[in-house]
């Protein structure tokens, strides 16, 4: 599990503000294909937005906890139905303060 300092969280929130959601979570369960697409997006972008659609039966905080644990990423922010995730890639693109 990745731990971020307050300064790093503020920095990542600023970077993530203009991003569009890359992964959508609907009423289907959080399965291996969803986790695989999350990991693939995190490897290529390091910082991604995940959108929880109306049909999702789980609470947004539950969803954030599950996907961050399974994708080995840090939850930077939960804002409405949008989750901002960070995971450093093999080739670092984002230099944290």
Each residue's pLDDT tens digit, 40-95: 999 989 999 999 998 888 899 999 999 999 989 999 999 999 999 999 877 778 87
Each residue's pLDDT tens digit, 24-33: 998 877 889 8
CA–CA gap between residue 89 and residue 47 (Å, rounded): 10
**Buried-exposed string 12-34: b where 16+ CB fall within 10 A, e elsewhere:** beeebeeeebbbebeeeebeeeb
CA–CA gap between residue 42 and residue 59 (Å, rounded): 22
Where do the domains of the chain lie, and which CATH numbers do they carry?
6-86 (3.30.110.60)
């Amino acid at each position: 599990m990745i731990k971020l300092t307050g300064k790093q969280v503020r920095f990542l929130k600023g970077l993530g503000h203009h991003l569009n959601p890359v992964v959508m979570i609907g009423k289907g369960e959080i399965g291996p294909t969803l986790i695989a697409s999350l990991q693939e997006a995190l490897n290529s972008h390091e910082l991604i937005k995940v959108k929880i659609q109306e049909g999702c039966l789980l609470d947004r905080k539950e969803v954030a906890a599950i996907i961050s644990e399974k994708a080995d990423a840090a939850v930077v922010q939960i804002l409405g139905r949008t989750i901002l995730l960070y995971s450093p890639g093999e080739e670092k693109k984002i230099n944290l303060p």
